[in-house]
Amino acid sequence: MMRILRQQGWIAGLLVLFVLLFIAARVIQPSYGAGDFGSLVSAVLPFAFAVAAQTVVVIAGGIDLSVAAMMAVTSVTAAALMAGASEEFALLVVPFVLLMGFALGALNGILIVVTRVPDIVVTLATLFMLQGAALLILPAPGGGSADWLRSLIFGTVPLPVLPAAVTAWFPKALLLLVVLLCIVWIPLKRSRLGLSIYAIGSNELAAFRSGVPVARTKILAYAIGGLFGAMGGLSLTMSTGIGAPIPGPYLMASVAAVVLGGVVLGGGKGGLLGPIIAVFVLRLARTVLTLLAIDPNVTAIVEGTILVAVVMFGAFIAMRSRQS
Amino acid sequence: MSISATTPEQAPLGRRIKRFMSDYPLVPLIILLVLLVLVLNIIQPGILNQRWVGNTIKFAIPLALMAGCQTMTMLTGGIDLSVGTAATMAAFIVATQGAIHDPATAMLMALVPALCIGFVNGIGVGVFRVHPLIMTLGTSLIGVGCLQVYQRTVIASGAKVPDFLIWLGTGVTWGFPNALLLFIPVAALLIFIQKRTGFGRLLYAIGDNERATRLAGVKYWQVILALYMFSSLLAGVMGLLYMGLIRAPSLSLAEPLVLTSVAAAVIGGTSIFGGRGSYTGTIVGALILQVMITLLTVLQMPEGARRMLFGAIILAVTAAYLRIIDDK
């Protein structure tokens, strides 16, 4: 009971932090409102999927360094397939890319299980391989995106009963994010597989001895991570309309958000909600810095420092909990 | 190990080859190097001349220096991905400050940010126990940000690479690249540190069994801090040399070498888990990679395929070493 309370307390604290940052944004710039919230959500979208991918893998006791490269390769695949193709064709592209992410994630897991090389080395190697694959698919940013796909994340959800002032606060991107995360996460968390993922994360040997299929669970955890990565890649293509083969800054951000969201590096603890709120907090902090009219390059330094500090803090907490 | 050691004549051939490879990792590496050069000579007859050898060595030296950072950090089970940023910062600063100050001052100024990166890495890894990979990735992000801010302050002053660095980077004396003047002492120093000093033994000890080393009274964080600062300093020196070789300052000068340097150390027999490896192997590893890069260029392989190949090499070699260690 105490643990649940403490975990909810952590999430509540993050929400309070988010609200405080939002108020700060409004104080700095009184016109900061619904429209800006919408653009914040669409900027968060790829980050949120990267965080979701990292969260599942970290809970299972691993770490996925290839998450940004996975997004790049799925994004360029989607963009290359949709370039010049019909709107209906994109209906086939989306499941194909999701399947591809799932398969590539599973490949990560299979390599870890078969070679017995630690997660961090395997995913470092696959990071380079996926990066190379992305460059082979599209040597330079390009490709295209179906219009209906792009319209999924722009604009607001039309709710007929409510006045426009209220619906303005429900951007489509937020709806898409919540729906996609819930479709994967809620059944997962309630299934035997979800329980196994937590089990191998907290103690692999104990899980093995209690009859949990460790190898299969690990492969599936990475595969689900890959699926989220593919969603992130698609959201990149959706928001920019093209695919870029160079991975964005999603790896470091995902690790920091996972730590800030209360998931312990090492596995077995935490949920998806905390890291998702954490990534909103981190992006909003960036917006506040921009609103303060700080040079964008300095913002990058401050952001990097925050990320490093958060990761250091997380490692410190993990060390403390190991000692006690 | 103990069974096959007492009755070597009964050991199967495969196991004997494995044992030989784990005991003398340099021999198969040199065989591989010679084979690659032969293949290259068959594909492109006549490429094997003094000029090509000199050029290969010239480009392999920066790679070997950077792989030296990886070798040292990997001995403790770590890795240093911020070396690309440290080297790039040193190179960019020496080129821009070279236009204002005299070369010696510019070079000293260039090494300061590299040392700062190493200091932060050392504190993060040694005191806060962040995984080295994540820590060094984070500091390299911060470093790139700082470099971008710095770039805007010096955009008007232009750039000038000190003549000494150009002489060192591109010059050739009696058929030998001048860079060897820097590389041979540095390589000797690295090998000396690894084989003959207490610090070097501590690195192996930490990589082998960190807990036992700490219980034996070693101040873990001091060793790690010194290690990461040394690694960044080496990266800074490499950046200076690389600037002299490339002669065009850019904000991502040494970044492409990071991955290759990890691959060079891994191919050279340094275990990414710590406790095993030597700089001699890394030097051969860097030469192998440099020849391989020429080979891929001759075969007109695109950049993407090259990266995929390097990733596959790192994974395959690490898995192979793991099997060899498991057998012991």
pLDDT(A163) > 90: no
pLDDT(A242) > 70: yes
Residues of A in contact with B302 (CB under 8 A): 135-136, 139
Question: What's the whole-number mean pLDDT along residues A90-96?
Answer: 89
pLDDT above 90 covers what percent of chain A?
32
**B129: nearest CB among A111, A131, A319:** A319
> A52 near A210, Cβ under 8 Å?
no
Q: What pLDDT was estimated at residue B303?
A: 83
In this predicted complex, what is the ipTM?
0.79
DSSP code of residue B124: I
pLDDT(A18) > 80: yes
Shortest Cα distance from B303 to chain A (angstroms)?
A: 7
- The 10s digit of each residue's pLDDT in A59-88 is 998 889 899 999 999 999 999 988 877 778
Provide CB contacts within 8 A for A19, sequence distance 6+.
none
pLDDT(B2) > 80: no
Q: What pLDDT was estimated at residue B298?
A: 83
Residue in chain B closest to A303 (alpha carbons) equals B142
Would you call A128 and B307 a contact, using CB atoms and an 8 Å cutoff?
Answer: yes
d(Cα A194, Cα B319) in Å, to the nearest integer?
Answer: 29
In the predicted model, what is the mean pLDDT of chain A? 85
Q: What pLDDT was estimated at residue B63?
A: 92
Residues of B in contact with A139 (CB under 8 A): 302-304
d(Cα A317, Cα A323) in Å, to the nearest integer?
Answer: 10
Residue in chain B closest to A127 (alpha carbons) equals B311
- The 10s digit of each residue's pLDDT in A53-65 is 999 999 998 889 8
Residues of A in contact with B142 (CB under 8 A): 301, 304-305, 308
Q: What pLDDT was estimated at residue A322?
A: 67
Question: What's the whole-number mean pLDDT along residues B131-156?
Answer: 84
SS3 for A12? helix
Total residue length of chain A: 324
Question: What's the whole-number mean pLDDT along residues B51-67?
Answer: 88
Domains and CATH numbers, chain A: 40-323 (1.10.3470)
User: CB distance from A77 to chain B under 8 Å?
Assistant: no
d(Cα A173, Cα B43) in Å, to the nearest integer?
Answer: 54
Residue B187 Cα distances to A139, A225, B126, B228, B291, angstroms:
37, 42, 26, 17, 20
Shortest Cα distance from A107 to chain B (angstroms)?
A: 13
d(Cα A93, Cα A236) in Å, to the nearest integer?
Answer: 15
- The 10s digit of each residue's pLDDT in A214-227 is 999 999 999 999 99
Interface of A with B in 205-264 (CB under 8 A): 245, 249, 251-252, 255
**Residue A297, class by beta-carbon neighbours within 10 Å (0-12 exposed, 13-18 middle, 19+ buried)?**
middle
C-alpha closest to that of A279 among A297, A258, A309 = A258
| One-character DSSP codes across B50-74 | HHHHHHHHHHHHHHHHHHHHHHHHH
Domains and CATH numbers, chain B: 54-327 (1.10.3470)
- The 10s digit of each residue's pLDDT in B220-270 is 888 999 999 999 999 999 998 898 888 888 888 888 788 788 888 888 888
Token output for A182: 């819930």
Between these two residues, B39 and A297, which has the higher pLDDT value? B39
